[in-house]
Amino acid sequence: MKIDSCLILKNEEQNIEKLINQLLEFSNEIHLTDTGSTDNTVNIIKEIQKEHSNVFLHYFEWCKDFAKARNYSLYCYECKADYQFWCDGDDELNDKLIETLKTFDGQDDLYTLNYLYTKTFLQKRNSLIKVAAQIKWVDPIHEFLYITQENSNNFTYFDNGSLIIHQHEQEENPNRRQDSLSRNLDIFMNMEKENYKFSVRNRFYYGRELYSKGLRESALNQFQKCIDDRYSNVNWYTNVINSCIFMFSINGDIALQYFYKIFSDEIFIRKDLYYIVGNYFFAKQRYKLAKFYYLLCINCEEPNNYALFYYDRECHLKALLQLGAIECNYNNNKKLAIKYNKDVLKIDKKNETAINNLKILDKKK
């Protein structure tokens, strides 16, 4: 089973040699598409090419469109492999993934891998694509592989410890982080200029980029549009929920109106949003309503793919603690307050807040 590795990259002089050496361990060919490097990246690749005839360098003239660049990297050459693997130039592969791909013998159209974006944030990426499936990238920014019943029916998730690891330079280099935000906003603004048809997903990410740049009112506008367009594609309900969460950090009163729209549509609502609505009413000292939403939070069903919602556990625990505070301080129900704090310890035996609360409640007459 042959695998080609196809990457786009720009200014990755610090990481690219190490990454290429990892890719060489399992790749039939490596196709690297440079989108405008101004550092030593291209020269490093050319030096590697002198020793490895299966490393190829391509050039793509940047046009503010990541999907076009990624599609170019997949289709700019005559691929004779069975699968194409992709990652980013600032990623590295763990040993388990390299060994898995060395002995890979797959059949499905798409293989999903764990991607450690930050030290604590684990995502999933469709990083191994069957060539015959002809799957393509869409969206100029926050691009994704467009999968339909026509172009792919089979998916497999590598849950064997295989991992792509993002190098955390952006976290340590504020200037690079700001450059990235500015670039992303520039792409979104160019999409608007060219009358690109924004999806629910586009609206959410546009709002998030604006929010990160401190443009809160503009961000609020995009999050509102995201929720208003929720009927256009039900597959992106997660972006609708996340838009509402961001809205509560900008303007709670407006966010509440949009929450009721989602709620009335019977869109699946996660624990974190119920918890945030509970906090909204708690801050306004409307404790009955706060309790109602905290109870919805702790009783909300968990998604089938729980790995995508790792933050639910934290919200669940915090909702229990808030319920304990309401019962103790406002409903004068010590028994129920004790119960909620003990429920916290059933999940997190070392939770210091619950332990201290129970000590205080024990002394309270």
- Interval 223-259: pLDDT, tens: 999 999 988 765 678 899 999 999 999 999 999 999 9
pLDDT given for residue 311 in this prediction: 60
pLDDT given for residue 294 in this prediction: 98
- Interval 170-225: pLDDT, tens: 455 556 666 787 899 999 999 999 999 999 999 999 999 999 999 999 999 999 99
Q: How confident is residue 307, by pLDDT bands cut at 50, 70 and 90?
A: very low
Determine contact, residues 297/340, Cβ cutoff 8 Å: no
117, 122, 128, 174, 219 from 171: Cα distances, Å: 11, 15, 27, 7, 22
Nearest to 170 by CA among 191, 184, 188: 184
Q: Look up the pTM and report it.
A: 0.87
Q: How confident is residue 123, by pLDDT bands cut at 50, 70 and 90?
A: confident
Q: How confident is residue 306, by pLDDT bands cut at 50, 70 and 90?
A: very low
- Interval 344-361: pLDDT, tens: 999 999 999 999 999 999
pLDDT given for residue 302 in this prediction: 67
pLDDT given for residue 300 in this prediction: 87
pLDDT for residue 58 is more than 50: yes
Mean of all residue pLDDT scores within the chain? 92
Q: How far apart are the first and last CA of the chain?
A: 72
pLDDT for residue 289 is more than 60: yes
C-alpha–C-alpha distance, residues 93 and 99, integer Å: 10
Q: For residues 310 and 33, which has the higher predicted lDDT (pLDDT)?
A: 33
pLDDT for residue 308 is more than 60: no
C-alpha–C-alpha distance, residues 320 and 342, integer Å: 9
pLDDT for residue 310 is more than 70: no
64: left (phi over 0), alpha (psi -120 to 50) or beta: left
> Which residue type is seen at 364?
K
pLDDT given for residue 204 in this prediction: 97
Determine contact, residues 152/112, Cβ cutoff 8 Å: no
pLDDT given for residue 265 in this prediction: 86
pLDDT for residue 169 is more than 60: no
Mean pLDDT of 147-159: 78
The first and second tokens of residue 54, run together, are: 């299966």
- Interval 126-149: pLDDT, tens: 999 999 999 999 999 999 998 877
pLDDT given for residue 191 in this prediction: 97
Number of other CB atoms surrounding residue 38 within 10 Å: 9
pLDDT given for residue 172 in this prediction: 54
Determine what percent of the chain is predicted with pLDDT higher than 70. Answer: 92
> Which residue type is seen at 291?
K
What domains can you pick out in the chain, each with its CATH number? 3-170 (3.90.550.10), 173-363 (1.25.40.10)
pLDDT given for residue 237 in this prediction: 83
